[in-house]
Amino acid sequence: MPRSFLVRKSACSRRRPNYSELHDSSPEFTFQQPYDQAHLLAAIPPPEVLNPTASLPTLIWDSLLAPQAQPVGRASLLAQEIPKAVELTSLSDEDSGKGSQPPSPPSPAPSSFSSTSASSLEAEGYAAFSGLGPLPGLKQLAGLSGAKDPQSRKAFNCKYCNKEYISLGALKMHIRSHTLPCVCSTCGKAFSRPWLLQGHVRTHTGEKPFSCPHCSRAFADRSNLRAHLQTHSDVKKYQCKTCSRTFSRMSLLHKHQESGCSGGPR
DNA sequence: CTGGGGACGGGGCCC
DNA sequence: GGGGCCCCGTCCCCA
């Protein structure tokens, strides 16, 4: 399940999740209320007209080769992440049983940590373990000691989900998906990266900077515009190998195949 | 059931 | 090395 921290949302919580009680620590990024429009607008590109030719691929992907979504691998991996993240962050806001809230950001790391990147990385997630002992224990959790050994050439392991990364930067980026330092000041929802928060804030402001060059529709999310552009194309991106029918989204193709392709075009 | 939109996440690339 | 951005992809909901 790629949406790492997504648990089925109720219809109500989908629009107005209550994260207000989650954050007792200062997040790295917040958007003030009312929305920091000046900053947002400065960061958001002007209405964009995408290159139609580039956005309307005529090539039909082989449904078997296309998007190596690795749904099984990623899903199973992330399925492992969820309980750990919840456990580590002592999520308490489980009202209504939706459980869709992201884990609470950790409290600020102890100031006594060294300033090396590895140590700060450890510090970043360290506070998730309340009352933990000294750092060495954490090193074991994060597998960082092995990474510093040129001979063993070990990967950097995430202490939350044990996922391996070959570079420290990649691991740090990944850990943000656990600590979720970017918090929406409106609804309290937390995100791993500032631009994800930016996109989320658009759901509050209603801003839709991505316009379809073929119709009047506009979107807050570029990916959604890309998916929309498929609807303007006669030949869709994803093709069923059995019946040659094409679909605008892989998920639709999957549904089609799972529901039992009849073998002939509809 | 199908198609489409909304929201969002992760990895990779570039500066 | 870090941040911004892009691309790809998924899940959920609704018409």
Per residue in A84-102, pLDDT (tens digit) is 333 333 333 333 333 333 3
The CA–C1' separation of A214 and B9, in angstroms, is 28
The CA–C1' separation of A203 and B6, in angstroms, is 9
Q: A177 pLDDT band (50/70/90 cuts)? A: confident
Question: pTM above the 0.75 mark?
Answer: no
The H or E element that residue A218 is part of is strand A218-219
| Lookup: tokens for A8 | 């089925």
* CB within 8 Å of A91: residues ≥ 6 apart: A22, A99, A101, A103, A104
Residue A129 has a pLDDT of 31
Question: Is pLDDT above 70 for A116?
Answer: no
The CA–C1' separation of A168 and C1, in angstroms, is 9
The H or E element that residue A41 is part of is helix A37-43
**Strand C within 7 Å of which CB atoms in A 106-145?**
117
- Report the footprint of strand B: residues with C-beta closer than 7 angstroms: A 2-6, 78, 102, 163, 170, 173-174, 177, 189, 191-192, 196, 199-200, 202-203, 217, 219-221, 223-224, 227-228, 230-231, 247-249, 251-252, 255-256, 259, 266
d(CA A1, CA A78) in angstroms, rounded, equals 6
Question: Is pLDDT above 70 for A172?
Answer: yes
Q: A43 pLDDT band (50/70/90 cuts)? A: very low
Percent of chain A with pLDDT over 90: 0
Which residues pair with residue A190 across a beta bridge? A183
Query: CA torsion angle for A214, A218, A219, A225 (degrees, to 10)?
Result: 0
Q: A215 pLDDT band (50/70/90 cuts)? A: confident
